[in-house]
Amino acid sequence: MTSEIKARDQSQDQDQNKKTQLNFSLRTIVISHYNEKARWALDYYRIPYVEHRSLPGLHMISMFKHQASSRPSPTNTRCVTPYLSAVPDSSAAGDLANEVKLHDSTQIAEFLSDQYAAPPNSKQSDSSSSSSSSGPRPNLYSNDAATKAKILALEERFGKMIGPHVRIYVYNEVLRHSPKSVGRAMGQNDNVGRLQTWIWTLFFGLFSWVLVKSLHINDKSAARSKEILRREFEHISRVLESGPPGPAYLVGNQFTAADLTLASLAGAAVGIGREDGYGAWVPQLTKARPEAQAFCEELRQTTAGKHILECYKLHRGEKAPGSSYGYSFFGLW
Ligand SMILES: N[C@@H](CCC(=O)N[C@@H](CS)C(=O)NCC(=O)O)C(=O)O
């Protein structure tokens, strides 16, 4: 390595450090796949953050003071998660006018990539870096406008065609067809503070009923979602199979926000869990009803399914060093 490259790398690392002088706090519904996307983007750029985790329904309490200005979609409330806030550390201590507030996983990934990706033409910018490589990570959105538009279009597609259908399909299995203990376990396994665990365990029947009713979860909607997922996996498999020679990614030969979005939103459908890097304990379809296990296995065998498993293996990595969990109410919430 020449001294010129070394000096450039050092200055990039210093630049990175300067930028991490923002204090990041992420409010999540801990098990949610859209929240996994935001967590993954933070972990990918190794940005330390405090995660304030909630369970579905109880997130309204955690998000009460941080609501979005409007409902992003008919299936969301103004308490929608993920919610990322970034407050400058020393330069403007306490100056909340400079606070960054983002209520959408794509906006979060784009913001982090803009701020923390390796600069164009640097040695890291065009490599297909795995989670173990050091130095700033490549841009998740590409520096080329046409490529970025493609990535954003795929993200939007997955946000509509995968995210909501994985939610309906998985909730139908877990809340309506699995033993109650599996649904209750979402509030256990170190997912949240102790008070939330108690409330969830005690009132699980009520939470489950509200989720099922409000998200219109039943066998008919789940069957429709299952079919949509099956078709979407076929489509994604074709995209991956028709790509340029070299490592198979959705856009070009490099891991981008399109792959990250697909892997986070569809992970639960192919049985991804905490041991694969998912940032929470989630019920495993591999342990659900035989028909759910069979569908999980069917998806895992597709090119798209294999790609998701591979993305977790190569790019999910660990929680960003220096990150922690935020608790309130005497450490119980
Ligand atoms: N388009 C949004 C969707 C986020 C979303 O659907 N969040 C769900 C969790 S899976 C949520 O917070 N629902 C509860 C609510 O809206 O109050 C994103 O990508 O961030």
196 lines ligand 1 (CB under 6 A): no
If you measure from the C-alpha of residue 300 to the centroid of ligand 1, how many angstroms do you get, rounded to a whole number? 25
Percent residues over pLDDT 70 in the chain: 88
Residues 246-265 have pLDDT tens digits of 778 999 989 999 999 999 99
- Supply the pLDDT for residue 329: 85
Ligand 1 pocket member 273 (CB < 6 A): no
Does residue 81 have a pLDDT over 80?
A: yes
Gap between the Cα atoms of 36 and 30, Å rounded? 8
Tell me phi and psi for residue 26, to 5 degrees: -120, 120
User: How many whole angstroms from 64 Cα to the centroid of ligand 1?
Assistant: 15
Q: Is the CB of 264 under 6 A from ligand 1?
A: no
Q: How confident is the model at residue 151 (pLDDT cuts 50, 70, 90)?
A: very high
The pLDDT tens digits of the residues spanning 307-332 come to 999 999 999 999 999 999 999 988 88
Which residue of 28, 30, 31, 32 sits with most ligand 1 atoms within 8 Å of its CB, as the best mutation to test the pocket?
32
The model's confidence at residue 130, banded by pLDDT at 50, 70 and 90, is: low
Using the mean position of ligand 1's atoms as its centre, give its distance from the Cα of residue 254 in Å.
Answer: 27
Is residue 72 lining ligand 1, measured as CB closer than 6 Å? yes
Give the number of the atom of ligand 1 that is nearest the alpha carbon of residue 105: 20
Q: What are phi and psi of 100, to 5 degrees?
A: -95, 130
Domains in the chain, please, with CATH?
Answer: 3-139 (3.40.30.10), 149-316 (1.20.1050)
